[in-house]
Structure 1
Amino acid sequence: MVGPSRVGKTSLIVSLITDAPRILARLPAALRTRDTWTEDAVMRRRNELEGAVRAGSFRKQALRGTDRASYYKLALESGIAGVAVHLTLLDFPGGWLSPGQDTKRPEDTWRDCREFMAQSTVLLVPVDSPVLMSARHAEQHRAIPELLKIAQVESVAEDWATERQYAQEEPALLLLVPMKCESYFADNGGSQDRAAELAEAVSKTYSRMCDIVRMNAPHARILYCPLDTLGCVELAGDPAWVPDDEGDGLQLSAEFRVRQPGEISVVGAEDILIAVCRVLAEARRTAEEALAEEATDAHRQVEEEAQIRRPFIERVRRWLDGTQAQLAENRRATGARARRAQRKLEHFERMVDELAARPFGSRVREL
């Protein structure tokens, strides 16, 4: 995930996990955390979000930002031991995109982050929707590229796409995810519909980045997937543009109020999860096919060994020293492994097919 500070990267992960039980209810699958750190981080951010809702209103900068690089480890489990898609999502301080300006960054860690992003199957770009949608005057529009770190995000996207070019046998997905979209859609309790305006603003702002990705990785898929993190909130009046901390630019100050009855209603997480899991599940199916083929080949070799006609004296010797019994046991064991591998592959394919058949919501656009 790549984006400026406090754009909502961690909240996006929480939205995925929070809504996963509903999303996957009709599938033989579950999305779970893979380590205690991820579980603890997700729970803390969920509590922060729920606390903001209980308070009835909150400002745009109310939630804590990330202060270090973090690897969120998830697993899309299939219900059979050993058959799962492991997802690792990297979140890092958005200030690292502008070293010396927002915050200092450890260069060794940043190199690790860049390497991880370049090798990732999916590049996820959260977008601060209120920043795009609230600009009215020239100086406000002028502030958008710096607030969203457009040049820095493009640089990361170029590295990612270049790496994907040399791995065309692997899937590649670029996701543009507008965050805090509750005030711009009427399909989740909102009072106005500015969906087309938001889509146009995102497409225009990130058009150069999309072109760079297409040129370097023509096989990459680019999707626009807006997200309501909370659903039950909306902007309280017009956001204010105020001088930034440096005093030489503008930043957005927005207050959100909670719509009653104040129940969190995530919209858009399903589209993101479907998009990501289609790509990664397909890659995992390729790996399962390789494992099944390996098990089948091992069994075939043992079978061929057993069919070799040997002289009578050698057959007696092999019977006496236990070689023949060991060969029979090998035939049984490799056959069982091959059958288990094939059953796992068939089960996994059913899960992939069901997930792939799930349609995207009406918000999603292919860019």
Structure 2
Amino acid sequence: MAEDGALSESPGQLGFGIGVVGPSRVGKTSLIVSIIADAPRVLAGMPASLRARDPWTEGAVMRRRNELDGSVKAGSFERKALRGTEKEAYYKLALETGIAGVSVDLTLLDFPGWWLSPGADIRRPEENWRECREFMAQSTVLLVPVDATVLMCSTEADHHRAAPELLKIAQVEAVAEEWATERQYADEEPALLLLVPMKCESYFADNGGSVDRSDELFEAVSKSYSRVRDVVRMNAPHAQILYCPLDTLGCVELGGETAWVPDREDGGLQLSAEFVVRPPAEISVEGAEDILIALCRNLAEARRAVQQEFANEAEGTSAEAAEAAARRYGFMTNVRMWLDGTRAGLKADQAITAARAKRIQRKLEHFEHMVDELAARPMGPRIREM
């Protein structure tokens, strides 16, 4: 069964779908691990936590954490050794405060990179691909992980020719256009595109590195993904586009041999790069906090829009108009259900007491305050608007 881009499961829960589009082996699971690993620091002093909310996600995250820890202990690892996704996978996280029944459930969809451009000799499962596209279209957030090493190691003409296919840039553009078109028809909803260069430890000097090539990296991403940015701007002018570079380990950098080698699968070139571990060999994530803040700002913006709808309805908006709005804005309807779950519950079940309704409302207000506090935090100097 396909997951919905935004699904409210109870009066105190809000489903928040995040579409993820990029090539195989770009590090999508490592991105999720980085966010979870950095969450305790980000949420320090707040009664909140970010955790996996199903056994599969927990297992996948733990396996990748062990792989990354093992690489650090081994002192080095190779880019080409990362295993690609074999089928679509829904990574399910929960941002919660410990208050029973009140949370924001984050669902990130990953799928095999080759589904973006299936070959003639192998068939893509079209039903699964349709479900993935529907999920991404319903998601207010589209996340594009970028292999920074491929861009920064492209120094020769052959490398530049190979890089767009390695990064699946044209395919990412097509998905982004479809996503932005859906956002155009729901322009009251927030829309957020995050370009996330991965494995940025070698290009910043703010997390243990000795070389600062951050401006060069930004220019490379801006140039390579300019059409992605432009197609989103044309179809969803209200969308926010952020550049969010991420250090998934922090304590590594390019070292040893970096070479472009023939790819036996498609006859092109593949990048083979070795990363070495810097002392004191302690993982130090950088950039995950900014991604979490951006998501909370997106959620807070949606909530403010819904609260304005409540105010408009109180001033005399007709029931027919409200019903039409509910049909039109799927994500906003889910936010409405989250904020107004007390009234919805009272209509559905007359046995709910006024005291219980007030308790639910207090829980929601407490959680909303936490989201607002996260959304109000300033982003780091790495983040750039595009």
TM-score bin, normalised by smaller chain:
0.7 to 0.9
Opposite residue 53 of structure 2, the aligned amino acid is: R
Per the TM alignment, residue 298 of structure 1 is displaced from its structure 2 partner at its CA by 8.7
Q: How does 1:305-324 map to 2 (within 5 A)?
A: none
Identify if the C-alpha distance between structure 1 residues 136 and 86 changes in structure 2 by more than 3 Å, giving closer, same or farther: same
**In the alignment, which residue of structure 1 is the partner of 2:93?**
74
Please identify the structure whose Cα radius of gyration is greater. Answer: 1
Does the 8 Å contact 2:337/2:344 carry over to 1? no
Per the TM alignment, residue 280 of structure 1 is displaced from its structure 2 partner at its CA by 3.0
**In the alignment, which residue of structure 1 is the partner of 2:326?**
none
Deviation above 2 Å: which 4+ runs of structure 1?
101-105, 246-249, 280-299
**In the alignment, which residue of structure 1 is the partner of 2:109?**
90
| Distance of 1:99 and 1:229 partners within structure 2 | 29
Alignment of 1:127 with 2:158, yes or no, is no
Aligned match for 1:173, one of 185, 192, 214: 192
| Distance of 2:62 and 2:341 partners within structure 1 | 40
Aligned match for 2:125, one of 99, 102, 106: 106
Identical counterparts, % of pairs = 74
Per the TM alignment, residue 220 of structure 1 is displaced from its structure 2 partner at its CA by 1.1
Q: How does 1:1-367 map to 2 (within 5 A)?
A: 1-100=20-119, 104-237=123-256, 239-246=258-265, 248-283=267-302, 286=306, 293=340, 295=342, 334-367=353-386
- SS where residue 82 of structure 1 aligns? coil
| Distance of 1:291 and 1:97 partners within structure 2 | 34
Residues 282-338 of structure 1: CA deviation (Å, up to 9, x unaligned): 546745665665646998x9xxxxxxxxxxxxxxxxxxxxxxxxxxxx79x542134
Opposite residue 29 of structure 2, the aligned amino acid is: T
User: Between Structure 1 and Structure 2, how many residues are aligned?
Assistant: 337
| Distance of 1:74 and 1:354 partners within structure 2 | 20
- Comparing 107-116 with 124-133, greater Cα deviation is found at 107-116
Identify if the C-alpha distance between structure 1 residues 297 and 254 changes in structure 2 by more than 3 Å, giving closer, same or farther: closer
Identify if the C-alpha distance between structure 1 residues 255 and 291 changes in structure 2 by more than 3 Å, giving closer, same or farther: closer
Opposite residue 269 of structure 2, the aligned amino acid is: L
Identify if the C-alpha distance between structure 1 residues 103 and 185 changes in structure 2 by more than 3 Å, giving closer, same or farther: farther
Residues 170-196 of structure 1: CA deviation (Å, up to 9, x unaligned): 221100000010000001111100001
| Distance of 1:158 and 1:38 partners within structure 2 | 29
- SS where residue 125 of structure 1 aligns? strand
Opposite residue 92 of structure 1, the aligned amino acid is: F
Does the 8 Å contact 1:226/1:268 carry over to 2? yes
- SS where residue 105 of structure 2 aligns? strand
In structure 2, the gaps of 5 or more residues are 1-19, 307-333
**In the alignment, which residue of structure 2 is the partner of 1:326?**
none
Opposite residue 83 of structure 1, the aligned amino acid is: V
TM-score by length of 1: 0.86
| Distance of 1:291 and 1:231 partners within structure 2 | 37
Per the TM alignment, residue 350 of structure 1 is displaced from its structure 2 partner at its CA by 1.3
Does the 8 Å contact 2:297/2:375 carry over to 1? yes
Residues 37-70 of structure 1: CA deviation (Å, up to 9, x unaligned): 1101110111111111111111111222211110
Does the 8 Å contact 1:74/1:88 carry over to 2? yes
TM-score by length of 2: 0.82
Opposite residue 156 of structure 1, the aligned amino acid is: V
Identify if the C-alpha distance between structure 1 residues 29 and 143 changes in structure 2 by more than 3 Å, giving closer, same or farther: same
Does the 8 Å contact 2:26/2:146 carry over to 1? yes
Identify if the C-alpha distance between structure 1 residues 64 and 349 changes in structure 2 by more than 3 Å, giving closer, same or farther: same
Does the 8 Å contact 1:33/1:73 carry over to 2? yes
Opposite residue 346 of structure 1, the aligned amino acid is: E
**In the alignment, which residue of structure 1 is the partner of 2:321?**
none
Per the TM alignment, residue 345 of structure 1 is displaced from its structure 2 partner at its CA by 3.2
Opposite residue 27 of structure 1, the aligned amino acid is: M
Instruction: Quote the RMSD (CA, aligned, Å).
Output: 2.3
Opposite residue 77 of structure 1, the aligned amino acid is: E
| Distance of 1:188 and 1:47 partners within structure 2 | 22
In structure 1, the gaps of 5 or more residues are 302-329
Opposite residue 255 of structure 2, the aligned amino acid is: A
Does the 8 Å contact 1:292/1:338 carry over to 2? no
